[in-house]
């Protein structure tokens, strides 16, 4: 999904206007209340927050959603570039390719079948709707890797062992290969470190590479 700016010369992700335009492009009526976008005038509400990075050439986009039960969902995206605007564009594109369509489907009923797989999962006798995003990858030049076989099924299996007490839950997994010596395994369930998910990821047969690559997935469950 490409980023289009109309009538703007700079990108400001601390303003609700960019996100408002993206939501309105999905045929949602959007109110703005301070820095929040409120589709249809009711919760969930969503906003973007840009955080300048300490290291040169980097920054971070935080996407925050306040749910109907007032819990807060947060997704974070790195942005890389020579200028702050390039960094914001990079982080926003990362968000659009990773979590945006999952959030639209789960919370606002806008399902793009090319971006989100919607399925029914039965967990501990309860029926859940799973909104599963694609696996977004970031690769260094000249690197290409295949997703390990059965990775989504392994995510689903370990989620079925988790205590799901609310009407909605969300899961993010992130794997990063930095050369042949360093690997990062990150799994979050409802924004909390998820030990069972991380252990599962460590047992996955990730491709070996001397370059950089990362694989990210985001999904939402609703009862």
* Phi-psi group of 79: left, alpha or beta (phi > 0 → left; psi -120 to 50 → alpha; rest → beta): beta
Task: Dump pLDDT digits (tens) for 180-216.
Answer: 779 999 999 999 999 999 999 999 999 988 889 999 9
Specify the pLDDT at position 143.
75
- Token output for 205: 């047969």
Specify the pLDDT at position 38.
98
Q: Which residues pair with 118 in a beta bridge?
A: 131
Q: How many CB atoms lie within 10 A of CB 193?
A: 10
**Quick check: 47 pLDDT over 90?**
yes
**Quick check: 54 pLDDT over 60?**
yes
pLDDT higher at 144 or 41: 41
- Token output for 105: 């489907």
Alpha-carbon span 209 to 189, nearest angstrom: 28
- Give the pairing of strands 116-123 and 192-193: unpaired
Specify the pLDDT at position 8.
43
Mean pLDDT lowest for which of 8-12, 126-130, 198-202? 8-12
**Cis amide leading into 44 (omega within 30):** yes
Residue 221 host element (H or E) = strand 212-222
Percent of the chain with pLDDT over 90: 84
Specify the pLDDT at position 68.
93
Task: Dump pLDDT digits (tens) for 142-165.
Answer: 778 889 999 999 999 999 999 999
Alpha-carbon span 110 to 44, nearest angstrom: 14
Query: Among 53, 99, 127, which residue's Cα sits nearest to residue 191?
Result: 99
| Contact assessment for residue 44 and residue 65, using Cβ atoms and an 8 Å cutoff | yes
Give the 3-state secondary structure of residue 119: strand
Specify the pLDDT at position 135.
95
Q: Per this entry, what is the length of the chain? A: 223
Domains along the chain?
Answer: 17-98 (3.30.160), 116-222 (no CATH)
């Amino acid at each position: 999904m490409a980023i289009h700016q109309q009538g703007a010369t700079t990108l400001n992700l601390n303003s609700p206007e960019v996100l408002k335009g993206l939501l309105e492009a999905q045929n949602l009526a959007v109110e703005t209340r301070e820095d929040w976008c409120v589709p249809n005038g009711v919760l969930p509400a969503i906003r973007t927050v840009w955080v300048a990075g300490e290291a040169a050439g980097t920054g971070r986009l935080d996407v925050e959603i306040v749910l109907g039960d007032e819990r807060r969902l947060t997704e974070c995206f790195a942005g890389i570039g020579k200028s702050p605007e390039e960094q914001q564009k990079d982080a926003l594109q990362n968000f659009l390719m990773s979590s945006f369509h999952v959030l639209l489907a789960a919370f606002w009923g806008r399902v793009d079948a090319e971006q989100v797989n919607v399925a029914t999962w039965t967990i501990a006798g309860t029926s859940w709707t799973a909104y599963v995003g694609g696996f977004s990858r970031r690769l260094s030049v000249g690197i290409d890797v295949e997703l390990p076989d059965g990775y989504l099924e392994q995510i689903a299996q370990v989620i079925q062992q988790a205590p799901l007490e609310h009407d909605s839950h969300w899961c993010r997994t992130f794997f990063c290969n930095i050369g042949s010596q360093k690997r990062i395994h990150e799994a979050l369930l409802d924004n909390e470190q998820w030990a069972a998910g991380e252990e599962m990821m460590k047992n996955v047969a990730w491709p070996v590479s001397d370059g950089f690559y990362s694989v990210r997935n985001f999904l939402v469950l609703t009862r």
